[in-house]
Structure 1
């Protein structure tokens, strides 16, 4: 029998999606499931984006340019300019989601055996992209006790070898919700310049910064044009996850030209989704103000409710819409599956994402889960109450 590749065998399952069959079975048994596992916002997509597709009179749905349409990229550049990021539309390559952008970047700047340093816990699919590229992630642990702040820069330096090509951050963070300060970004900037590395920043949650804090982009740094690569997406900003439109942005011409070759190999990003994404850039600022207000209220409600559960510890996120929760259990994978297979309270249960899948260091995060607070406040209160009742009877 022909065998599959070692790369395929090493490809990890998604900690976010692997429990879906158990959730489907729970619903088939008549249980209601509160989905706290995946960052699918319940906020409505801006009507201006949907209208642009519905009312379009395209007669031939043709390829776009491999780097994305000029009209869309120019409009993105104008959007960045309003956020103190000075780039040209030629610095932008439109991708099929931020996921493709990350894959393009990894393939463009690293060879098999190279290393990228990433703070963990981190977005689980970074592991999949690294595996697909043949590179190695060198993790540096950030801690719940510090709300997952940037570890001391000296700890980063200890991991840098001749194989190291980049440092990757997610800002604000998935799964932690941590928002890096300008000072933390500048510390990383000095380090990558000192060691001649790339600094990659996944900034898809830029709009979601709370408590009067502001997001600081790596593309606002001066003197780092050859070192910085930004990843972005419309998925969360406009609640358009299904559009699958993202981009990579860099002033480094060599990186851009190399990434374009990978973009050409997959032909082009989807045309209708670009039309929707271009129109979404006309969304009024009031939309974001309302969305941020809603998420702050949800966050505060969630944290308050979780803090009523004995033995639970939770980091307070300053951005995005996730938080890491430490539970009084030994194995959150087992607990998450048990919630769906064997437990219900008033015929309801919850689906969470076990956090060990967001770490690459073995046996770390085993007692943690990630919660996405993408439900209305009333449903969040019910979901946490179900967790509270479940922990009363769960046995490891």
Structure 2
């Protein structure tokens, strides 16, 4: 079967939930501790216990592992400091409301993790849990209540919703000033237009760009390929790369010769939702690979009976790329960190706090 027909665009919000947080170490890449030595053309300018080294677009035989957990921790620390400053200055604490419909185990896990993350940085968490068979009107009523509540600065509707509900109607009901998920069509439209700025950007794609920035990757003028064109990840990721002056190609299920197109990219962001689809020979030597996919595959040695892998065949790609995100531990932690960042930004904006 041709590669162009074996994948579908990743549209699950399981990996999709930032705003600019620009305390960036412009020449630093956050790597996990590794026995891999640096390429001779990329000497380390600083040594520390966090294994921070500069990134070079070179043809190394082994990729550096971009540690999303480390980067997200730095961002959360920054958020915690800003929330404390805001509380001391004007007595305001950011609030995030989550609406969960139904009893999906994965959705319950995501909501629980977001609540823990809010508590850790000092954001007040609000939650509404509605039954699977509730009406669309009940969900809209909850959204309307949070829209009017001044203590709530961000509203998140956990996806997917039950089949009997109109997802578009529900997401559109969220007040644009509190659309910390970045899914409102006005925010998406502003993202797509030159000279316009969205209030919020979908968290996962913004997290991908934030990783590139904090890893010292120069996006301007580079060739970038985004695999997948979902509204949640692929399309906004491509728009963000374009805003950074990259030359962007989107590979999707109707693309001919996706391997050849991907092989031209200096930067690859994959959000197709197919385990190990992107092989090592798809990757240009020295490219930077951001793997958004989170796919379960059978594993009899795992206590759960499965393990999580990305869209990219890690064992092959790490021998070709200069840097790569692992799965898990790469993009995933960034998604929630950027949701927190969006919520903080919303509170600052609504209260005109600099």
The alignment's TM-score, normalised by the length of structure 2, stands at 0.33
Of Structure 1 and Structure 2, which has the larger fraction of its residues in helix?
A: 1
The alignment's TM-score, normalised by the length of structure 1, stands at 0.31
Rg larger for: 1
